[in-house]
Amino acid sequence: DGGITQSPKYLFRKEGQNVTLSCEQNLNHDAMYWYRQDPGQGLRLIYYSQIVNDFQKGDIAEGYSVSREKKESFPLTVTSAQKNPTAFYLCASSIRRTTLGHNSPLHFGNGTRLTVT
């Protein structure tokens, strides 16, 4: 079955440690995204990548880093510089445009819940 796999589902870290969240997709989608969700807030874009070896900052990129060495994979590193890292992290992918030229919807993985103490 095609889909987006995020691992692990739950992650616990001590303050000051870097941590990497995994995201793998087998949908053959060109574009991949990382969003963060906090209680009572909408999803906020951290980074996105439209093609291998290229990525752009979203609205809240500070304290995060990404890589896109393979089409299938878009790992997110939460660094010690991120002030409030505890959150629900969602990875998504999409085709770049629909056959009619519209923006295509995002398809989400199951998320990783990160707790930093």
Binding residues for another protein, per CB under 8 A?
Answer: 31, 33, 35, 40-45, 48, 50, 56, 58, 90, 94, 96-97, 100, 102-111
Q: CA 65, CA 72: separation in Å to the nearest integer? A: 17
Task: Specify whether the CB–CB gap between 55 and 70 falls below 8 A.
Answer: no
Q: How far is the CB of 56 from another protein (least distance, A)?
A: 7
Q: How far is the CB of 69 from another protein (least distance, A)?
A: 20
Q: CA 104, CA 94: separation in Å to the nearest integer? A: 6
Q: Whose Cβ is closer to another protein: residue 81's or residue 105's?
A: 105
Q: Whose Cβ is closer to another protein: residue 1's or residue 15's?
A: 1
Q: How far is the CB of 16 from another protein (least distance, A)?
A: 28
Q: How far is the CB of 41 from another protein (least distance, A)?
A: 6
Q: Whose Cβ is closer to another protein: residue 18's or residue 98's?
A: 98
For β-strands 76-78 and 64-66, DSSP reports them as antiparallel
Task: Specify whether the CB–CB gap between 78 and 63 falls below 8 A.
Answer: yes
Q: Quote the tokens at residue 70.
A: 């393979």
Q: Whose Cβ is closer to another protein: residue 18's or residue 56's?
A: 56
From the list 96, 46, 99, the residue with the least C-alpha distance to 75 is 46
